Copies of this chain bind each other. A is one copy, B any other.
């Protein structure tokens, strides 16, 4: 039987992903897909956001995820199964939001993988997570329980992305992420403001048109829209929204339908 495909996600940047890829290929995993190796460095909540938005588009696979500021410490090596996918990575919460998205109303199963500490305590992506992902892919996602030194685990580090607060006439919303174009992704679900499409909303007190697409305002002008993640976004047509609105990830903004 063919091994399951494996995807790789990390904050490793330019060099280290190749070592993980090599380890997987050397263990007979024919299909290794990079998701991204530019996740925000050692930033668990922001990485959790991007993984949740990207991995569900893949067909069932073993997703090997290395955002691991606690590398070499006593955090567990976690194997999860959710919605036909497997997830392998550190037990620090980074995989929980995507697992909930993958499983829908189904169950998430968790195991702890007991490993021998490798020679180096600084690159578990290469020395622990990639080999475990290869073993899961070779066994098959449906049969992963057969992996030696795997034991069911119940006390898992959880992580929930922040959610907005309703206020009189609007919302206080967290900024979850800023993409490469400078679009500012808030945690306010689009339906909450959908009625304002074509009208004006107030962002921290400033009037901004709310439209279905960036190009509905002139280039260089601010716009509030509902982005491809289903959340309210702050943007500037053909320029950077984060600069224009003067915000960063982790900030909260006030969104109102009346001044």
- Point out residues on A near B: beta carbons under 8 Å: 5, 12-19, 21-23, 25-26, 33-36, 38, 41-42, 50, 53-59, 69-73, 119-123, 126-127, 179-181, 183, 212-216, 225-230, 233, 238
- Given the interface pairs A42-B238, A73-B215, A120-B227, the reply to whether A12 lies near B180 with Cβ below 8 Å is yes
Contact between B123 and A228 (Cβ–Cβ < 8 Å)? yes
Residue of B nearest to A17 (CB): B36
Contact between A57 and B26 (Cβ–Cβ < 8 Å)? yes
- Given the interface pairs A15-B36, A214-B122, A238-B42, the reply to whether A58 lies near B22 with Cβ below 8 Å is yes
Shortest beta-carbon distance from A239 to chain B in Å: 9
Counting every copy of the chain, the complex holds 3
Residues of B within 8 A of A127 (CB): 228
Bound CA–CA A23/B229 (angstroms): 15
Residues of B within 8 A of A54 (CB): 15, 18-19, 22
Can you list 26 A-B pairs, Cβ within 8 angstroms, ordered by A? A13-B180, A14-B180, A15-B38, A16-B180, A18-B57, A19-B57, A21-B33, A21-B57, A22-B54, A22-B56, A22-B57, A25-B58, A42-B181, A70-B215, A71-B215, A72-B214, A73-B213, A73-B215, A119-B230, A120-B226, A120-B227, A120-B228, A122-B183, A122-B225, A122-B226, A122-B227
Residues of B within 8 A of A23 (CB): 57
Bound CA–CA A213/B41 (angstroms): 18
Bound CA–CA A135/B234 (angstroms): 33
Bound CA–CA A35/B35 (angstroms): 15
Bound CA–CA A50/B15 (angstroms): 7
Shortest beta-carbon distance from A240 to chain B in Å: 10
